[in-house]
Amino acid sequence: MMTLNRYRLRHLAKQGNRAARRVEKLLRKPDRLISLVLIGNNLVNILASAIATIVGMRLYGNAGVAIATGVLTFVVLVFAEVLPKTIAALYPEKVAFPSSVLLGPLQIVMMPLVWLLNTVTRILMRMVGIKVDNVVSAALSKDELRTIVNECRSQISRRNQDMLLSVLDLEKVSVNDIMVPRSDIVGIDINDDWKSIVRQLTHSPHGRIVLYRDSLDDAISMLRVREAYRLMTEKQEFTKEMLLRASDEIYYVPEGTPLSTQLIKFQRNKKKVGLVVDEYGDIQGLVTVEDILEEIVGDFTTSMSPTLAEEVTPQNDGSVIIEGGASIREINKAFNWHLPEEEARTVNGMLLEALEEIPANGTRVRIAQYDIDILDVQDNMIRQVRVIPIKPLRQSVEE
C-alpha cells in the first residue's frame, strides 16, 4: 500500500478504476491503515507463537520451546515477512488492489480497537514533544518534478523532455537574459527624410519597428510593418502623420521580470513586444513573445537573431571560438560549461566585468576552469574570443 505510486493511483482513480478508488480511500488515513495492518499482523504472530510453544512442549517437553522458537522464527521470517513483502514491493498494484477488498471491511469492524491504539499513540507522542497534527504535503517541488522528467526517458521523447525542463526554468530566467540589447534594436528616426523612412520600412526584416525622435531614449511608438505596408498600398498619400497614427503605444517591461511572469503579462495585455527599461526608465533592450517561446521550444527558423551555431565554432584542439555577443547561458547549456552568468549575459560583458577595462587583442584571462584568449576588439567591444577548457589534474594524469 505504501509503495504505490500515488500519482498513478490518483490517475487510475480518476479513470474510474474501482480498486484504485478503494486503495486511495484507505490511504487518506494512513495512520488508521497502518494500525489495522499492524494489529492483524501482530495478533497472528503472537497467536502462532503461543500455539507453536504449546505444541512443542507437548511433543518434546521443555526442549520443545527452543524447537518451536527456531522453527517459527524461520517460518515467520521467510513466509510472513521477507517473501510476501518482497513480492508486494515488486508488484504493489497486484497486491494492494485485491487486498483493499478485505482491508476496507476489516477497518470498519476493528475501528474501536484502531481508534484506541491511535489515541494511546498520539498521547505518548505528545508527551515526548512530537507534533501529531503536521500534514505532510504530497505536492512535488520543482526540483522533484525536474528529476521525474529526467527519469522518464523511456516514456517521453528527448525533445519533449527539453521542452518540459525549459518550462520549469522560465522562473529562473529573466527578460534581461533573452532581450535584444539596446545597441541591436532596429528603429526609425521619425525626423529623418521621408524617403529614407520609406526605404527603411520596405527593407525591414522585422515585423515591428520602434519609432523615435533623434534618439532611442525618446521612443514614440511601436509600428507594425504590415500595417505600414497596407497604408502604402492605399490610393491616398502616405505621410508621416498617417504613419504615427497607425502605430501602437509602446509597452514597457521592467528589467529582471521572470519569463514566466512576462509571458502571462503579454497574454493578459494582448501584446507581442515590449521595451525593457531599468529603474530609471532608460531603455535597455527589446523582448518579444517569440523570444520567450524560443526558450521553451527552441529557435524558430524565422528568427532574425543569430543562432548559437552561428556564434560558436568548435576547434579540433578542443577549444571553441565564440563571438563576443553570444549568450553565456546558451553556451553553458550547449557545452555543459559553468561560465559565470550572474553579472553579465554575454561573453563580452563577462570579460569586461572580470578585467574592468577594455583589453587589447591577444590578452589571456582565466575565468573559473577556462582560459580565454581575446582575438578581436573593435569599438570598445570584444568581438571574438577563444575559450580553452582546463582539464582537471586527475583527468590529465589518467590520459
How many angstroms separate the CA atoms of 234 and 214, rounded? 29
Count CB atoms within 10 A of the CB of residue 349. 18
Residue 243, φ and ψ in degrees, nearest 5: -65, -45
Q: Which residues contact 49 (CB under 8 A, 6 or more apart)?
A: 68, 72
Q: Which residue has the cell 524617403?
A: 195
Amino acid at the residue 266: F
pLDDT at 83: 92
CB count, 10 Å around CB of 284? Answer: 18
**Residue 306: what pLDDT?**
59
Burial of 315 (0-12, 13-18, 19+ CB in 10 A): exposed
C-alpha to C-alpha distance for 324 and 302, rounded to whole angstroms? 23
Predicted pLDDT of residue 399: 46
- Report the phi/psi class of residue 336: left, alpha or beta, with left for phi > 0 and alpha for psi in -120 to 50: left
C-alpha cell at 375: 582575438
CATH 3.30.465.10 domain residues, the chain: 308-398
Burial of 44-71, coded b for 16+ CB within 10 Å and e otherwise, reads: eeeeeeeebbeebeeeeeeebeebbeee
Which parts of 76-157 fold into alpha helices (H)? 83-90, 92-109, 111-127, 142-151
Locate CATH 3.10.580.10 in the chain: 175-293
Tell me the C-alpha distance between 273 and 305, whole Å. Answer: 15
* Residue 201 · residue 188 · CB < 8 Å: yes
Distance, CA of 287 to CA of 356 (rounded, Å): 28
Quick one: fold of 175-293? CBS-domain (3.10.580)
Handedness of CA 69, 75, 80, 81 (dihedral sign): positive
Longest dimension (CA), the chain: 119
Sign of CA dihedral 354, 356, 361, 363: negative
- Three-class secondary structure of residue 192 per DSSP: coil
**Exposed, middle or buried, 328 (CB in 10 Å: 0-12/13-18/19+)?**
buried
Q: Read off the pTM.
A: 0.60
pLDDT digits 0-9 by tens, 112-138: 988 998 888 888 888 888 876 655 556
Fold annotation for 308-398: 3.30.465
How high is the pLDDT of residue 227?
81
- For residue 97, what pLDDT is reported? 92
Contact 199, 189 (CB under 8 A): no
Question: pLDDT (tens digit, 0 to 9) for every residue of the chain, 399 residues total?
Answer: 888 888 888 888 888 899 999 998 988 888 888 889 889 888 888 898 899 889 988 888 888 888 888 888 898 889 888 999 899 888 989 999 999 999 989 988 989 988 998 888 888 888 888 876 655 556 677 777 878 787 776 777 877 888 888 888 888 888 988 888 888 888 889 988 888 888 888 887 778 889 999 888 889 999 888 888 787 777 567 788 888 888 889 999 999 899 989 999 999 999 989 999 988 889 999 999 988 888 888 766 555 455 667 788 999 888 999 998 888 888 888 888 889 887 788 899 899 988 888 899 989 999 988 999 999 998 888 999 999 998 754 444 344
3-state secondary structure 202-234: HCCCCCEEEEEECEEEEEEEEEEHHHHHHHHHC
